[in-house]
Amino acid sequence: MKRRVVVTGIGAVSPVGNDALESWQNVIAGKSGIGPLTRLDPDQYSAKVAAEVKDFDIEKYVERKEARKMDRFTHYAIAAALMAVEDAKLKIDDSNAERIGVWVGSGIGGMETFEQQFETFQKRGYRRVSPFFVPMMIPDMATGQISIYLGAKGVNSCTVTACATGTNSIGDAFKVIQRGDADAMIAGGAEAPITQMSVAGFCANTALSTNPDPQTASRPFDLNRDGFVIGEGAGIVILEELEHALSRGAHIYAEIVGYGSTGDAHHITAPAPGGEGGVRAMRIALQDGGLAPEDIDYINAHGTSTPYNDKYETMAIKEVFGEHAYKLAVSSTKSMTGHLLGAAGGVEAIFSVMAIKEGILPPTMNYVTPDPECDLDYVANEARKANVKAVLSNSLGFGGHNATIAFKKYE
């Protein structure tokens, strides 16, 4: 018998809100967090817009002296984790610390720290490089710091699978609990990639939208889509073994039941033709969760607003679901949040469980000109009430990483 695992807490820092509930409410209202690029000089880049976190104060969560020893992606991760643990009303102490773990990933880690410290090295030599440079930069430090701040001594790991990172992290943490290695896991992703070199790199490989209008730059599945909008933030969920959650009277958002993870073995950035790797990830998640294709009511798509991703993800959904592909709903919340890279799967998992809990499908904004090759129900431009019993959340990353997690209404 597989141990059942439920979601009992959520926490987020995102371009659409500095907590999970605000982020959800704004997405349901169709409010975008995308605006002009302000962290950098937009004149230096082909991309002029970004999905930046706004009015975030790390000192609400961490003392200034300690915050200065962390990169911004770790700031977001700690804040989201603390909010998720508080939301779950999960007390961590000597009685349970060794059975509570942390699995939070980041796609590129502390790029801002790397750039700043390299500039210091060039101008002033190695002696002036911060002694905290390496522990600030490495992607696993979000997990490390969350563990330290919360006292969680169980499984402690970090996934780095580019844009699939958050979903892989939650899926891997789910399996830790399911096989009995922990009773609860703090899981998700964090990213702060709006830096000189990150944006330069994505502009150089023409992945970013060059549409200067913040309101329409991210337009997943639309015929005129031209690239993703870079975003930042963190999304963290508390996963808990069902009996452990019930024994303490925890609130349950949804049950996580399936996880699929595959590799394209195709190309360093382009998805495999027809979304073949995504097809297998979705099928594995369905099988793992004991779900039939017709059980799925909604898919939170990867939906990056890039030409190939949206086309191939649509093809993959059709391959997996057949005629049911035209009966289920699909949407991309990246139309409002932008693409949070390694944090995307964490934030989108939160939106997925909230869709189940609230019975509302978040919209795909900016869907104006239909693409004949993208012909599913994308919940265009307005949220929709629905009886949502089961959901898939997809994430697809550079390097051919595909990850899908399946949630269903807790019964």
Residues forming the active site: 163, 302, 339
- What's the CA dihedral at 296, 163, 359, 21 to 10 degrees? 160
Single out the residue of 168, 211, 218 nearest to residue 16, CA to CA: 218
- What's the CA dihedral at 257, 16, 159, 209 to 10 degrees? 110
How many other C-beta atoms are found inside a 10 Å radius of the C-beta of residue 306?
24
Single out the residue of 218, 202, 222 nearest to residue 304, CA to CA: 218
Q: Answer for the pair 359, 385: CB distance below 8 angstroms, yes or no.
A: yes
Token pair, residue 152, equals 């969680």
Token pair, residue 311, equals 């086309």
3-state SS of 98-138?
HHEEEEEECCCCCHHHHHHHHHHHHHHCHHHCCCCHHHHHC
Token pair, residue 255, equals 């049950």
Token pair, residue 56, equals 């975030």
Residue 179 C-alpha from the chain's centroid: 24
